[in-house]
Amino acid sequence: LDCMRHFKNFVANASTYGSNVTFKLNTNISLSGKWSPIEKFNATLDGGNKTISNLAMNIPQSDSVAEYHGFIARNYGTIKNLKFTGINIIANTHHTDKAINVGGVVGYNYGTVREVIAQGSLNCNRYMASMGGIIGTNAGTVYRCTAQDYYIYGNGDMGGIAGRMTSGSVKYCQTKKLNMNVYTVNGNRSAGGIVGYMPGGLVEYCCNRDNGVIFFDGFYNVGALSPKMGLIVGHAGSSATVRNVSVQGAKLSYDNLPEKYWFTNCRQHVGAYGNGAVGFCEGATIGSTSWTPTGLYNG
């Protein structure tokens, strides 16, 4: 492949080629204009270690907006050996609609994403959102991926790799120079360097490094203010396992988060477990948080 238009045409006619087809990039591609996501992908995209740059999206303020947003909206196949630079995704303020899943690469992952690097910014000012530097919501396999030089702002569930994870695994992934700003309009949202909200699944052999900051930016009209913020996982639920992870040079910044607001201990779920690695542990299994990073992917 040397053109995204051709790629979209192939995917649109996937029934002709079958799910076993592999698409491979032959050259770097710079996108222009606003990107319209590939709605459903069930094949293999081999990036050939090439770069796709300038992926731009503007998610409208609407009750009927699509649920999945990214380079690919829903992935059931395999995406590998690919780099994204200059990602710029904006979701306009809207707080009464259905949940959306926003990822720099995949909105909702049921398949496999491996050896992918992503760089850019997400600005998603909607509390009914799961947003991640690479994946919005993960229920599949994420392996040896890197989110670097990334800025993420919002008030949903936010993660450097995945905003939310219901099942599956994230292994050998890292965030480098991640700047995440949390603005709360709902007291129970989560932010993590790797995964924001994790009711289930496995995070293992992952690292948040190189002076990344997860910053509490402020709040508006919240009665019970208790955000979940962790340098690896914000909120780990009862079916989640977090082990063999590490934090190197990253930090939590929450001076703007009051110690008390109404009757709540607002800071009780900020880096409360594993030396700051996990914000809130709701019956999850937490293992070592002093893993020595090895086997990570830098392209």
143-152 pLDDT, tens per residue? 999 999 999 9
Is pLDDT of 67 > 70? yes
Residue 293 lies in a domain: no
- Which long-range CB contacts under 8 A does 11-19 form with residues at least 24 apart? 11/38, 11/41, 11/43, 14/42, 14/43, 17/43, 19/43, 19/77
Residue 298 placed within a domain: no
Q: What is the pLDDT of residues 177-231, one digit of tens each?
A: 999 999 887 667 899 999 999 999 999 999 999 989 999 988 876 777 889 999 9
137, 108 contact by CB (below 8 A): yes
Q: Evaluate whether residue 158 is within a structural domain.
A: yes
Which residue range forms the structural domain that includes residue 76? 4-286
Is residue 295 a contact partner of residue 115, using CB atoms and an 8 Å limit? no
Query: Residue 165's domain is classified under what CATH number?
Result: 2.160.20.110
Q: What per-residue confidence (pLDDT) applies to 184? A: 81
% of the chain surpassing 90 pLDDT: 70
Rounded-to-integer distance, Cα 204 and Cα 131, Å: 20
How many domains are there within the chain? 1
Report yes or no on 129 lying in a domain: yes
Q: Phi, psi (5° rounding) for residue 8? A: -60, -40
Model confidence at 95: pLDDT above 70: no
DSSP string, 207-256: EEESS-EEEEEEE-S-SS---EEESSEEEEEEEEEEEEEEEEB-EEE-TT
If you average pLDDT over residues 29-48, what whole number do you get?
92
Higher-pLDDT residue of 156 and 239 is 239
| CB 197, CB 162: distance < 8 Å | no
Least confident of 154-158, 170-174, 262-266: 262-266
Domain assignment present for residue 292? The answer is: no
As a whole number, the mean pLDDT across the chain is 91
The pLDDT of residue 9: 76
* Whole-angstrom distance, CA of residue 4 vs CA of residue 34: 13
36: Cα within 13 Å, side-chain hemisphere: 4
Residue 13 placed within a domain: yes
What does pTM read for this prediction? 0.95
With respect to residue 261, please indicate whether it lies within any of the assigned structural domains.
yes
Q: Please check whether residue 23 lies inside any domain of the structure.
A: yes
Q: Among 23-32, 56-65, 189-198, 221-230, which range has the highest average pLDDT?
A: 189-198
At 116-134, the pLDDT tens digits run 999 999 998 887 889 999 9
Q: What is the pLDDT of residue 259?
A: 86
